[in-house]
Structure 1
Amino acid sequence: MLIGDVARRCGVSVRMLRHYESLGLVRPGGRTGAGYREYSGEDVRRIFHIESLRSLGLSLRAVGQALDDPDFTPTTLVDDLIRRTRARIADETRLLTRLERIDAAGPGDWTDVLQTVALLRALGSSHAAQRQRAALAPVGAVAVEALVEAALGEPDPHVAGALRWAVARAGAAGLPLLAQGLDAPVAAVRDRAVRCLVEIPHDAATALLRDALDHRDVAVRRCAALTLGARGVPEAVPTLVDMVVQEANDVEAADALAALAVDAESADRIAAALVAGLTGDAVASPVRRRLTQALAGIPGERASRALAELAVDADRPVALTATYVLMLRDREP
C-alpha cells in the first residue's frame, strides 16, 4: 500500500507519516518497482496504534517507548496520564475562574484588568498577610464573587475575618454564592458561608439564615439561630432551646432567647418551650440547671411561675438556682 493510500485510510497526512518514519515510529520495509515506499498491513496497524496513543495525550517519544518496550505496562501509563490530565484540568479551571472574575468586574480598560488580576493573585497568595491586605483593600471594580470565593476557602482565622468584613461591605451582592456555600459537601465551607451571612445586615441575608434553621448541618443551624435571635426572628426559638439543652453555646443561646422575649406573648411562648425541656424523668440534672438559668432572662408570669415551682424542686442545685433568680426578680423595681 502506497503512502497516499495509507494516509487516506488512517486519516493521517502524508507529511505526518513521513515524520513518523523519520522518528523511527514506522519503518515501511517494502518498495515498489519504481522505488516508492510500500506499507504492509502490520505497518498500517502500527499507525492506528500510534494515533490511538496520541489521542490519550502521549508525546511521540512516549508512544515509541510504549510500542517498542516489551515490558511496557499500560496501567502505569494510564495512571500517569490520569494524574497529568487532572493537573491540567485544575490549571485550566483556575484560569477559567480568573477570566470569569475579570469579566464579572466589567473592566473598562487594561488598567482595570491588571488591577483585577493583581487582586486575584493576592487573594490566592500562599502568604496569609498578603491575602489579608488584599481583603482589606478598597474593592473598586473587582467582582464580589472573588471575595466570596476566597472567604469560603480561607483557613486562616485572621484572614477569614478580614474577608468576611469585605464580603459584608459589598452588601447583598455575594448572597447567591454564599447560599451555594451553605450546600457545599465540605463542612468547613458551610461553616464559612454561614459566618459570612451573619455579618451581612440585609433582609435577604436574614431570609437565608431563616432557611438555614432547617439545614442538615447542626452547626449551620446553631450559628444561624444565634444571629436570628439577635435580629428578633422568633423561628429561632426551638433551635436556641435545643442549644441550651445540648450545652452548645448555651449562654449565648440563653441571651438570644432573652432578646426575643420582647413582649408578654413572646416571653410566655419562650418560657413554655424552656419548661417543656424540664419535664420528664430522663432529663439529666445539668440540663435542668441550664434550662432554669435560661428562664432567669425571660420576663413575665409564665417564667415566674415556673421558677417558683423549681424553687422547691427535688434537685437541690436546680432549686437553689431558681430561688436565687426569684430573689433577684423581687428586687427589680
Structure 2
Amino acid sequence: MKYLTLAAGLLGASAAIAETPVLTVYTYDSFVSDWGPGPQIEKAFEENCACDLRFVGMGDGAALLARLKLEGARSDADVVLGLDTGLIAAAKDTGLFTETAVSADYALPITWDDAVFAPYDWGYFAFVHNTDMTPPTNFKALGASDVKIVIQDPRSSTPGLGLMMWVKDAYGDEAEAIWQGLADNVVTVTKGWSEAYGLFLEGEADMVLSYTTSPAYHIIAEDDESKAAAVFDEGHYMQVEVAGRLANSDQPELAEAFLNFMVSDAAQSILPTTNWMYPAVMPSGGLPKGFEALVKPENARLIPADEVPAIRDAALQEWLTALSQ
C-alpha cells in the first residue's frame, strides 16, 4: 500500500511538472549573468505566471538575430529580448515575429509606435574612461591621439553596430576616413560588450565603448567614482533595446504577458541597477541615487529603424576596410 501511495504521488508530481508551461526567452549573456537583471526578472515574473521562465543567453544582441535566422520557424524561442533599433528592420524581414498589444507610458526621448517590438530600456553609447585621464572630445581627436580603445564587432554586438552607425551618422562620406584614423587606437575588437568592458577594467585599454550610464554601476554598486563617460562634440548615438514575440511560439499568451511585464513597474524598477540603462517607463520610485551624476548628451543621434538597412552594408564595408589595413 505504501508503495502504491508513493508511486501515485510520484506520478502526480511528474504530471504537475509536465503541465507547467515553459516560456523560453532568448537574450544576451550579460542579461542572464548573476549581476544582470535576469535572475530578478525571472523570480518576479514566475511569482504570478504559474510557469517556468527560462532565459537562454547567447552572446550579444546582434548574435541573437543571427541565431534566430539559423533556427527559423523551428526555434524554441517564444520571446527574443535584446535587439535594438539598429536590428528591428532586419528582424522584421525574417517574418518570424508577430505584432504585440503592449501599451505603456514610455519615458523615451523619441515617440514609440512600433507594433511588433516593445522597448524595455534605453541609453546613449559613449567611451568610458578612468577619471585620471583627460579624454578626447570627438572622433577626430581620438584618432589623432595615442589613446587605446576596445570596441565591439558590429556583426555580433549591438554596441558595435551602434558605434558604426554613430560614426556614419555624424560623418557621412567621411566615415571611412574617421575609421582609418581610429584603426591604430583599437587594441582589439570583441564579439560582445562583456568581454570588452572586462578588458578595460583589467587595464588593457584606456577607453571602452559602453554607455553614459555605465559609471552608475561603479558609483552605486562599488562606491567608486573613478569612471566617467567622455562627452563627444558629435553628439551621442542612442540605443533603445526591445523585445518581441515569435509568431510560432507555442505559448503566445505567456509571451504577451511577459512583454507587458517587462514594461511594468516591477520590471522597470529592476533594470536601472542591474542592466545599468535608463528604464523605458519611469519607475514609481524614480531613478536610483547616482544617476543624477551621469553626463547628459545635448545632441542625441539615432537613425530611424527602417533606414538602417540601406546604410548598414556600406558602413560595415568601410569599417572592415579601415580596420583590416
Judging by fraction of residues, say which structure has more helix: 1
Q: Higher Cα Rg: structure 1 or 2? A: 1
Higher relative contact order (CA 8 A, sep 6+): 2
- Normalising by the smaller structure, the TM-score range is under 0.3
Q: Give the alignment's TM-score, normalised by structure 1.
A: 0.23
